[in-house]
């Protein structure tokens, strides 16, 4: 199938083609956690790049619960005009522009000084790096209800700002994903135990979000095909959750995998086994897509047009591209023009997998930072230098955040 065919969504909206700029955490908010000039420049580059859909990086539903210190927060109308500008820029090339809504749960950095909330008091296990994350506190019933309402409120604000949809992040070990996994959800109330109970929060969020926005506003979900951890959320669980999702008005389901503990979304499994370097969730996604009634998108390592075509020929409706678009923001446009491009970063083969994961994220953010300043990417940057630079930057942003929050 041609990637340049229109994709019609269940709610009547359509995407100009079947390639999406997938979400990547930018950490480029201004000091008030609002969209910045750097974000505007970054998304101007991507808006001109030819993808049919742009997804933001994490946009937080609660400024007390951040995945990173430079993250954008959408919890009220105080910066709505900046969000309107961001939405206008993202849509300027004709693409749909959706906000990825998220809550970190236990994946909250300790240096932010906030209490991490989670389904259960199960701390991250990252060896020597575990202390980087706050000790989680089990959520009360009122905490859970507040999270549901915050997702709905942020979705309504995104629509008011001019975005065309939202994506509910229920993958990569963040809060909704934590509720789905028996490793992190050890509750014995209606939010834990059976898979049906563990999926209750995700389904409640979807229902609340759908009720808060208009029918023509797109609502998507990002779900792990598996956590890649023994005893965790697996493909059989994902299949059952998708069958439940079929009962809801969802416009796109993105399948990914992994978490901070098992960063499979970067091409590594928990045991260090290297996954297929491109479209490394494709086999699982193809199997799960046969269950889904909504269009399915797969993201993970895609950087060549031939692989995009392979993804679409397998029955997947859309291919999500992330890192490759930090190296060549106009990649989709070039493909449409018949130019062959295969942008990639050198692999990081450090023995300490947790450190290699941090370095990988740092190298990607280095490219994002360059684009946000109007500069050209630098794929051959030293991973060690990028990691040191990234940690210094995040440390400075964490201090600014604590000062702003009074902690």
Unique residue bearing structure tokens 């040191």: 388
Distance between CA 209 and CA 231 in Å, rounded?
30
Unique residue bearing structure tokens 């939010």: 191
The pLDDT, as a whole number, for residue 126 is 79
What SS3 class is residue 354?
Answer: helix
Unique residue bearing structure tokens 């135990």: 193
Which among 180, 193, 210, 103 has a CA at the least distance from the CA of 146? 103
Unique residue bearing structure tokens 């742009």: 54
Return the higher-pLDDT residue of 267 and 88.
Answer: 88
pLDDT tens across 158-205, in order? 999 999 999 999 999 999 999 999 999 999 999 999 999 999 999 999
Distance between CA 59 and CA 206 in Å, rounded?
16
Among 21-25, 272-276, 311-315, 356-360, the range with the most confident prediction by mean pLDDT is 21-25
Q: H or E element: which one contains 303?
A: none
Which among 178, 205, 332, 197 has a CA at the least distance from the CA of 260? 178
- Within 10 A of 135 (CB to CB), how many other CB atoms are there? 16
Unique residue bearing structure tokens 């390639």: 19
Distance between CA 312 and CA 299 in Å, rounded?
12
pLDDT tens across 53-103, in order? 999 999 999 999 999 999 999 999 999 999 999 999 999 999 999 999 999
Q: 164, 144 in Cβ contact below 8 A?
A: no
Distance between CA 180 and CA 195 in Å, rounded?
7
Q: Which DSSP symbol is given to 28?
A: -
Enumerate the domain spans of the chain: 7-405
Top-level CATH class of 7-405?
alpha beta
Show the beta-strand stretches assigned E in 61-170: 72-73, 96-102, 116-118, 136-138, 165-170
- Report yes or no on whether pTM surpasses 0.85: yes
Distance between CA 51 and CA 255 in Å, rounded?
18
- Within 10 A of 173 (CB to CB), how many other CB atoms are there? 27
């Amino acid at each position: 199938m041609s990637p340049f065919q229109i994709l019609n969504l269940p709610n009547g909206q359509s995407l100009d083609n079947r390639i999406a700029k997938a979400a990547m955490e930018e950490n480029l908010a201004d000091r008030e956690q609002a969209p910045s000039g750097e974000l505007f420049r970054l998304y101007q580059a991507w808006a001109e790049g030819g993808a049919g859909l742009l997804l933001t990086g994490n946009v937080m539903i609660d400024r007390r619960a951040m995945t990173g210190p430079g993250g954008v927060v959408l919890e009220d109308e105080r910066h709505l005009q900046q969000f309107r500008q961001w939405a206008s820029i993202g849509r300027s090339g004709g693409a749909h522009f959706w906000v990825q809504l998220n809550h970190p749960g236990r994946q909250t950095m300790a240096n932010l000084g906030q209490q991490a909330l989670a389904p259960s008091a199960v701390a991250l296990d990252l060896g020597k790096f575990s202390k980087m994350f706050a000790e989680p506190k089990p959520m009360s019933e009122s905490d859970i209800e507040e999270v549901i309402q915050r997702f709905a409120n942020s979705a309504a604000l995104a629509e008011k700002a001019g975005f065309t949809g939202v994506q509910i992040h229920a993958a990569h070990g963040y809060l909704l994903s934590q509720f789905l996994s028996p490793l992190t959800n050890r509750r014995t109330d209606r939010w834990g135990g059976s898979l049906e109970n563990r999926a209750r929060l995700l389904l409640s969020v979807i229902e609340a979000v759908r009720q808060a926005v208009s029918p023509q506003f797109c609502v998507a979900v990002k779900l792990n095909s598996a956590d890649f951890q023994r005893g965790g959320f697996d493909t059989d669980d994902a299949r059952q959750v998708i069958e439940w999702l079929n009962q809801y008005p969802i416009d796109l389901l993105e399948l990914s995998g992994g978490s901070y503990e098992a960063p499979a979304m970067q091409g590594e499994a928990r045991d260090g086994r290297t996954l297929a370097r491109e479209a490394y969730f494709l086999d699982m996604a193809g199997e799960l897509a046969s269950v889904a009634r909504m269009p399915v998108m797969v993201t993970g390592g895609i950087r060549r047009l031939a692989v995009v075509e392979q993804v679409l020929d397998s029955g997947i409706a859309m291919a999500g591209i992330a890192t490759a678009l930090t190296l060549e923001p106009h990649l989709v446009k070039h493909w449409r023009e018949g130019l062959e491009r295969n942008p990639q970063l050198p692999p990081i083969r450090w023995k300490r997998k947790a450190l290699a994961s941090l370095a990988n994220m740092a190298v990607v953010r280095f490219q994002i930072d360059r684009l946000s300043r109007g500069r050209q990417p630098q794929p051959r940057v030293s991973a060690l230098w990028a990691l040191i630079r990234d940690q210094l930057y995040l440390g400075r942003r964490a201090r600014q955040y604590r000062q702003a929050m009074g902690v």
